[in-house]
């Protein structure tokens, strides 16, 4: 199955208006690399400005979270419709930092994914095991359980899964190539068992300490449809180099 590669950047809680120039530095890469989808997820406060500055470009914008409710008395929350209205087309959901910092359960992530889909956003839904779970040999079962509980029934083929081992995020550590291939196959099997052809078409990204130096190897791995990039997405030089390291870029598209 030919799945269009996707490289998404997650700025986390970094970035002020002055940093949007870094985003503009990515536009020429995104315009040239027509074989890839490129998405940047800045803080919610910057989405509207970013959308305005990127107008007419091919780079997509996403939020980093959304509320499960459509609207209502939920002070401080941002709804999926608000993200869409600001110019986002995507939203990261269930990131391990939100599961850790805000106690987000799989059920809540699922409700958020439902809200995102209802508002017309494409979820990038994160799953991944802790180091203790990996050491206990439970990585596959943890990820399979997270998928079963957090991906909504009837999820469309456009929904994206990001496999992000918690211990690889922001640590400089990455699983071996064989481990990434193995667990991506586990994710694919679970998606196909539940969603059939749609499950075969869903993209599965790898996330966790992707940087220019390792992007070429990781992005070429069997079953890896792209990457979710944190720290290295903050600088145009690094994020641009990661995009350029994709095999599709080297093949001239």
Residue 164 annotated to the active site: yes
In a 10 Å sphere around its CB, with 0-12 CB exposed, 13-18 middle and 19+ buried, how is residue 216 labelled?
Answer: middle
In a 10 Å sphere around its CB, with 0-12 CB exposed, 13-18 middle and 19+ buried, how is residue 129 labelled?
Answer: buried
Determine, following the binding rule CB under 6 A, whether residue 129 of this chain makes contact with ligand PEP.
Answer: no
CB of 233 to ligand PEP, least distance (A): 7
CB of 197 to ligand PEP, least distance (A): 28
Whole-angstrom Cα distance, residue 18 to residue 24?
A: 11
CB of 107 to ligand PEP, least distance (A): 21
In a 10 Å sphere around its CB, with 0-12 CB exposed, 13-18 middle and 19+ buried, how is residue 77 labelled?
Answer: middle
Task: Compute how many residues bind ligand PEP; rule: CB under 6 A.
Answer: 14
In a 10 Å sphere around its CB, with 0-12 CB exposed, 13-18 middle and 19+ buried, how is residue 130 labelled?
Answer: middle
Determine, following the binding rule CB under 6 A, whether residue 230 of this chain makes contact with ligand PEP.
Answer: yes
**Applying CB under 6 A, which part among 23-31, 100-108, 163-171, 192-200 lies near ligand PEP?**
163-171
Determine, following the binding rule CB under 6 A, whether residue 62 of this chain makes contact with ligand PEP.
Answer: no
Residue 104 annotated to the active site: no
Residues at the site binding ligand PEP, with contacts judged by CB under 6 A: 10, 12, 164, 169-170, 207-210, 228-232
């Amino acid at each position: 199955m030919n799945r269009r590669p996707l490289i998404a950047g997650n700025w986390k809680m970094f970035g002020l208006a002055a940093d949007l120039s870094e985003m503009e530095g990515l536009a020429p890469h995104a315009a040239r690399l027509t074989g890839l989808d490129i998405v940047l997820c800045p803080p919610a406060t910057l989405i509207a400005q970013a959308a305005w500055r990127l107008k007419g470009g091919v780079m997509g914008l996403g939020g980093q979270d959304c509320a499960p409710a459509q609207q209502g008395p939920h002070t401080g929350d941002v709804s999926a419709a608000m993200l869409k209205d600001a110019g986002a087309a995507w939203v990261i959901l269930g990131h391990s930092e939100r599961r850790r910092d805000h106690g987000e359960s799989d059920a809540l992530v699922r409700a958020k994914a439902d809200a995102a889909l209802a508002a017309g956003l494409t979820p990038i839904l994160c799953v991944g095991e802790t180091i203790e779970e990996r050491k206990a040999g439970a990585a596959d079962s943890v990820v399979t359980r997270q998928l079963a509980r957090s991906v909504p029934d009837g999820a469309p083929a456009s929904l994206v899964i990001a496999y992000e081992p918690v211990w690889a995020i922001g640590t400089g550590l990455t699983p071996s190539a064989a481990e990434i291939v193995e667990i991506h196959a586990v994710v694919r099997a679970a998606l196909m068992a539940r969603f059939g052809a749609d499950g075969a078409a869903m993209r599965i990204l790898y996330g966790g300490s992707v940087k220019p130096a390792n992007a070429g190897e990781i992005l070429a791995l069997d079953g890896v449809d792209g990457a979710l990039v944190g720290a290295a997405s903050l600088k145009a030089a690094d994020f641009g180099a990661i995009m350029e390291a994709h095999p599709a870029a080297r093949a001239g598209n």
